[in-house]
Structure 1
């Protein structure tokens, strides 16, 4: 099986987008950006439908954010502590929020997804804070559409202009996305929280 075959990827990209982007909501190392950018690059070569790539990426992003938001809004995060992998995940969420800060404003909900770990941290912090379900859902939906359009467009533009194979165009797109994400991260996280609002696994709850 030739993993670099454009025909193989063109047929499978739709099936990779949803699990990758959903998984990224809780486990940021998931290569969701790479998958969506690849979808854009394949669209530039006529091997995928650019509108379907955007729609699937946006839907999966929104669903993942809502799941994390509800998990913390309903105070169900302690369920993670029943398993070793869950405690590690819970601790990782705590660290992500501590790095990204405690802001749960609507602007942050929309924009933080463009920085590494920002999507997870903001969704969890919003669930713990006073953000309404309707407000979060609307902002997460808008942010998901903007994020999906940005990454798909990045792949489409690099695929259209470089003349390189789709996988090379995808790597260039990822590099550009990382630079932009780092720049956004510097701006968004200037005011960091001194403490994560998430209870660390094993910590005593506050009275």
Structure 2
């Protein structure tokens, strides 16, 4: 029986993974921070790929495991702070005007979302940092609604540290088989995408029905 081919080492990786691996091996921990930080600004660069790769690089001696956790979490928080500041600069009123121009969305929808965030902002930021897609965007409402910076920083750091520890640790333990982490994480990501699609569909259907004129008796 022929053995299955081994997963690629960092030298054999191509595309985003190859670029990220090269940056980590050349810059060490700061390279990992840079790559992970870009995940907040460019969601197509998924942390589900980068973090296990950082763990794998740590296992190969590019840097220590503790260093991998520190730098990836530093990058996550730094990227989130940039997005938070952008949201803060945009502000509540300007965001409300922009949202009100969207089809099927009104100012009342934004007001309800803002009120919900005011009640659950800390939990939303903490949990959001551990949910694909949302982890890249949850900093926006935090900035728009001017969540206290110290609270945002604390919730973001705690959520990012938990998320990063799981993925970096898995990549470190799996070694050459680190790509398995990204494949399994993709399933979770697809579930999140599906939930978003269903929620958006229900919202659109309800709005269309609500805007239909009520016909009286003939």
TM-score calculated relative to the size of structure 1: 0.63
Which of residues 122, 125, 136 is equivalent to 2:138? 122
Counterpart of 1:39 in structure 2 is 54
Partner of 1:61: 76
Post-superposition offset of 1:126: 1.3
Task: Report the Cα distance in structure 2 between the residues aligned to 1:183 and 1:133, rounded to whole angstroms.
Answer: 31
Larger RCO (alpha carbons 8 Å, 6+ apart): 1
Residue 66 (structure 2) aligns with:
51
2:178 maps to 170
1:133 maps to which of 149, 152, 155: 149
Q: 1:4 aligns with which of 4, 12, 21?
A: 12
Partners in 1 of 2:59 and 2:130 — Cα distance?
23
Secondary structure at the residue paired with 1:114? Answer: coil
Alignment match of 1:111 (pick from 127, 131, 137): 127
Q: 63-72 vs 11-20, which deviates more? A: 11-20
Deviation at 1:112, TM superposition (A): 1.7
Deviations 1:2-30 (A, max 9, x none): 8239x978733535312221211121011
Cα distance, 1:43–1:18 mapped onto 2, change above 3 Å: closer
C-alpha displacement of 1:35 = 2.3
Quick one: distance in 2 between partners of 1:107 and 1:185?
21
The 1:184–1:11 alpha-carbon spacing in structure 2 relative to 1, beyond 3 Å, is same
Q: Indicate the SS of the match to 2:42.
A: coil
Q: Structure 2: 5+ residue runs without aligned partners?
A: 1-9, 14-20, 93-109, 205-218
Q: 1:137 and 1:8, CA in 2 relative to 1: closer, same or farther beyond 3 A?
A: closer
**If each structure's helix is expressed as a fraction of its own residues, which one has the higher value?**
2
Alignment-derived partner of residue 201 in structure 1:
none
Counterpart in 1 of 2:215? Answer: none
In 2: Cα distance, 1:137 partner to 1:112 partner: 13
Corresponding residue pairs, total:
164
The 1-side partners of 2:66 and 2:164 are apart by 10
Larger Rg: 2
Counterpart-to-counterpart distance in 1, 2:195 and 2:137: 16
**Deviation, structure 1 residue 42:** 3.0
TM-score relative to the length of structure 2: 0.60
Question: SS of the residue aligned with 1:115?
Answer: coil
Distance 1:8 1:138, change over 3 A: closer
